[in-house]
Amino acid sequence: MEAKGKRSARYRSSRLQRANYKWIYLFLLPTVLIFAMFYVVPIVEVFATSFTQWDGFNAPSFNGIRNYINLFTSHSFLTSLKNLFWWCVIAMTLHVGFGTLVAFVLFHRPRGWKLTRAVYMIPNVISAAAWAMIYRFIFNDDIGILNSLIRIFNPDFSVDWFYVSPWAFWSVTFTWLFYAVIVTLIVLGDLLNIPQELTEAAHIDGATGWQLIRYVHLPLCRSAIGTSIICSLTSRIAMYEQIALTTAGGPDYQTVSLPILLVNAITDYRYGYANAVGVLMFLIGLVILWVVNRLFRMDETDY
Amino acid sequence: MKLVKKGASQALMYFVELVVIVLSVFPILWVIMSSFKTNGEILTSPLALPTSFSLDAFIHLFQNYSFPIYFLNSLLAAGISTLVSLFFYAMGAYVIAKFNFPGRRLLFVLFTITLLVPGHSKSQPIFSLISDLGLFDSIWGVTLVYLSAGMAMSIFVLKAGFMAIPKSLDEAAIIDGAGFMRTFLLINLPLAKSALSTAGILMFLGNWNEYYFASLLTHSDSQRTLPIALSFFTSEFSYNYTNLFAALTIVILPGILLYVFAQEQVQASVAATGIKG
Q: What's chain A's average pLDDT?
A: 87
Confidence (pLDDT) at A177? 93
Minimal CA separation from B175 to chain A, in Å: 11
**Cα-to-chain-centroid distance, residue B74:** 11
Confidence (pLDDT) at A24? 92
Confidence (pLDDT) at A19? 66
A2 band by pLDDT with thresholds 50, 70 and 90: very low
Q: What is the mean pLDDT of residues B69-83?
A: 94
pLDDT reading at A62 higher than 60: yes
Q: List, for residues B217-246, the tens digit of each pLDDT value.
A: 998 888 999 999 888 887 666 678 888 888
pLDDT reading at A14 higher than 80: no
CA dist A134 and B30 (Å) reads 9
Q: Is B129 on the interface with A (CB under 8 A)?
A: yes
Residue B245 near residue B31 (C-beta atoms within 8 A): yes
Residue A84 near residue A92 (C-beta atoms within 8 A): no
Q: Among A218-232, B32-46, B207-221, which is the least confidently predicted range?
A: B32-46
Confidence (pLDDT) at A302? 64
Confidence (pLDDT) at B212? 92
Q: Which fold has domain A73-295?
A: MetI-like fold (1.10.3720)
Tell if the CB–CB gap between A38 and B116 is shorter than 8 Å: no
Q: Is A237 on the interface with B (CB under 8 A)?
A: yes
pLDDT reading at B158 higher than 70: yes
Confidence (pLDDT) at A276? 94
A10 band by pLDDT with thresholds 50, 70 and 90: very low
In chain B the first and final C-alpha atoms are separated, in Å, by 45
Provide the 8-state DSSP code for B223.
Answer: G
Q: What is the mean pLDDT of residues B124-149?
A: 93
Distance set, CA B35 to CA A269, B61, B214, B226 (Å): 40, 12, 26, 17
Q: Which residue of B has its CA nearest to A135?
A: B27
Confidence (pLDDT) at A6? 46
Structural domain spans, chain B: 58-273
The beta-carbon neighbor of B230 closest among A119, A130, A277 is A130
B2 band by pLDDT with thresholds 50, 70 and 90: low
Q: What is the mean pLDDT of residues A68-87?
A: 94
Q: What is the mean pLDDT of residues B6-33?
A: 91
Q: At what angle do helices B241-261 and B193-209 cross, to 10 degrees?
A: 170
Q: Looking at domain B58-273, which of 3.90.380.10, 1.10.3720.10, 3.40.50.300, 1.20.1070.10 is its CATH number?
A: 1.10.3720.10
Tell if the CB–CB gap between B16 and A143 is shorter than 8 Å: no
Confidence (pLDDT) at A34? 96
Q: What is the mean pLDDT of residues B117-127?
A: 88
- Cα dihedral: A54, A57, A61, A62 (round 10): 30
Q: What's chain B's average pLDDT?
A: 87
Residues in chain A with CB shorter than 8 Å from the CB of B94 are: 27
Amino acid at position B223, single letter: Q
Give the angle subtended at the CA of B63 by the CAs of B58 and B69, to the nearest 5°: 95
Q: Among A9-18, B132-141, B148-157, which is the least confidently predicted range?
A: A9-18
Q: Is B111 on the interface with A (CB under 8 A)?
A: yes
Structural domain spans, chain A: 2-49, 73-295
pTM of the full structure = 0.86
Confidence (pLDDT) at A168? 92
Confidence (pLDDT) at B217? 93
Percent of chain B with pLDDT over 90: 40
Confidence (pLDDT) at B95? 93
Q: Is A283 on the interface with B (CB under 8 A)?
A: no
The beta-carbon neighbor of B99 closest among A24, A231, A245 is A24
Q: Among A19-23, A140-144, B45-49, which is the least confidently predicted range?
A: B45-49
Residues in chain A with CB shorter than 8 Å from the CB of B4 are: none
pLDDT reading at B142 higher than 90: yes
The alpha-helical segments, DSSP class H, found in B52-66 are 56-64
- Least Cα distance to B241 among A136, A97, A175, A174 occurs for A136
Q: Is A211 on the interface with B (CB under 8 A)?
A: no
Q: What is the mean pLDDT of residues A49-55?
A: 91
Give the angle subtended at the CA of A251 by the CAs of A249 and A256, to the nearest 5°: 25
Residue B141 near residue B214 (C-beta atoms within 8 A): no
Confidence (pLDDT) at B276? 43
Tell if the CB–CB gap between A110 and B13 is shorter than 8 Å: yes
B262 band by pLDDT with thresholds 50, 70 and 90: confident
Percent of chain A with pLDDT over 90: 45
Residues in chain A with CB shorter than 8 Å from the CB of B276 are: 124, 182, 231, 235
Confidence (pLDDT) at A107? 92
Minimal CA separation from B118 to chain A, in Å: 6
B117 band by pLDDT with thresholds 50, 70 and 90: confident
The beta-carbon neighbor of B119 closest among A41, A238, A245 is A238
Tell if the CB–CB gap between A262 and B174 is shorter than 8 Å: no
pLDDT reading at A297 higher than 80: no
Per-position DSSP letters for chain A, written without gaps between them: -HHHHHHHHHHHHHHHHHHHHHHHHHHHHHHHHHHIIIIIHHHHHHHHHTTEE--SSSPPEE-TTHHHHHHHT-HHHHHHHHHHHHHHHHIIIIIHHHHHHHHHHHHT--TTHHHHHHHHTHHHHS-HHHHHHHHHHHT-TTT-HHHHHHHHH-TT----TTTSTTHHHHHHHHHHHT--HHHHHHHHHHHHHS-HHHHHHHHHTT--HHHIIIIIIHHHTHHHHHHHHHHHHHHHHT--HHHHTTTTT-STTTT--HHHHHHHHHHTT-HHHHHHHHHHHHHHHHHHHHHHHHHTTTTS---
Minimal CA separation from A246 to chain B, in Å: 10
Residue B52 near residue B45 (C-beta atoms within 8 A): no
pLDDT reading at A9 higher than 70: no
Q: Which residue of B has its CA nearest to A236?
A: B118
pLDDT reading at A126 higher than 80: yes
CA dist B8 and B2 (Å) reads 10
Confidence (pLDDT) at B1? 57
